[in-house]
């Protein structure tokens, strides 16, 4: 009986947790516009960029963090029709647009 009560309690607690979904572009752009949240936004950008830099896009060596941040923010601001998409997708698109790899 104790095991059944414990299982019911765990199931109830688990089911009451909110489902977490990735932010969309609008939420991410709002985050990027808050000076106090820049570090958090930069972590999201760097996380995606570190996985794809050198293959999907090629960010410059100099001032890499600022270059990435500015590229993503510029892309989001100039593509408002895309802001419904997931932030990771938009981060990659922003970096691809700003920093294409040369084919040489």
Rounded distance, CA 72 to CA 92, Å? Answer: 8
For the chain, what is the mean pLDDT?
A: 83
State CA 14 to chain mean position distance. 26
Rounded distance, CA 42 to CA 34, Å? Answer: 12
What are the residues facing 24 on neighbouring strands?
86
Rounded distance, CA 59 to CA 64, Å? Answer: 7
What pLDDT is stored for residue 19 in this prediction? Answer: 43
pLDDT digits (tens, 9 = 90+) for 20-52: 456 889 999 999 999 999 999 999 999 999 999
- Flag whether pLDDT at 14 surpasses 80: no
Q: Domains, the chain, ranges and CATH? A: 23-98 (1.10.890.40)
């Amino acid at each position: 009986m104790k095991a059944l009560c414990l299982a019911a309690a765990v199931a109830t607690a688990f089911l009451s947790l909110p489902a977490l979904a990735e932010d969309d572009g609008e939420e991410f752009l709002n985050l990027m516009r808050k000076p106090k949240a820049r570090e958090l936004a930069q972590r999201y950008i760097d996380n995606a960029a570190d996985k794809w830099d050198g293959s999907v896009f090629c960010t410059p060596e100099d001032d890499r963090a600022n270059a990435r941040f500015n590229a993503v923010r510029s892309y989001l601001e100039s593509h408002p029709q895309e802001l419904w998409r997931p932030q990771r997708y938009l981060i990659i698109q922003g970096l691809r647009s700003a920093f294409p790899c040369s084919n040489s």
